[in-house]
Amino acid sequence: MPKVRKIPQRTCVACGRARPKRELVRAVRTPAGEIKVDLTGKVSGRGAYVCPEPECVERGLREGRLQHALEIPIPESAMDELRRAVELAAAGRR
Ligand SMILES: [Zn+2]
C-alpha cells in the first residue's frame, strides 16, 4: 500500500474555500508587528491565507477579513505588496 500523503490545507479568509497551503498566498503578522507577504511559508508569526486571486485579496482587504485574521490594521504598503504577490502568483499559473 502506498502511503497517502496528506496535503496541508488552509482556508482563504475571503471566500472560505479550503485549498492546499502552497497554492495560497500567506500574509503574516511578524512578532515585530509588521505585515509581510510570506512566499516561503516559513515566516513565523500569525498568518492568514488568501487565494492567489485578485478578487479574494480585494475582498479580504475591503471587508476587513485579513485585518481581522491578523488582528492588526494593514498599512497601504503591505496591501500593495499583497496585491503584487497575488498578481505574480496568478501570472505564474498562466
Ligand atoms: Zn479565496
Neighbouring residues of the ion ligand 1, judged by CB less than 5 Å: 12, 14-15, 51, 56
Residue 26 has pLDDT above 90, yes or no: yes
Tens digits of residue pLDDT in 43-79: 999 999 999 999 999 999 999 999 999 999 999 999 9
Query: How many angstroms separate the alpha carbon of residue 53 from the centre of ligand 1?
Result: 7
CA of 38 relative to ligand 1 center, distance in Å? 17
Q: What percent of the chain has pLDDT over 70?
A: 97
Contact predicate 51/15, CB 8 Å: yes
CB-based contacts of 31, cutoff 8 Å, min separation 6:
44, 45
Expressed in angstroms and rounded, the spacing between residue 4 Cα and the centre of ligand 1 is: 26
Ligand 1 centre to CA of 27 (Å) is: 13
Measured distance CA(27)–CA(8) in Å, rounded: 17
Whole-number pLDDT of residue 85: 92
Beta carbons within 10 angstroms of residue 36's beta carbon: 17
Lowest mean pLDDT of 2-6, 10-14, 87-91, name the range.
2-6
9-92, CATH topology level = Hypothetical Cytosolic Protein; Chain: A; (3.30.1230)
Q: Given pLDDT bands bounded at 50, 70 and 90, which one contains residue 39? A: confident
Residue owning grid cell 491565507: 49
Nearest CA among 78, 84, 39, 45 for reference residue 61: 78
Domain extent listing, the chain: 9-92
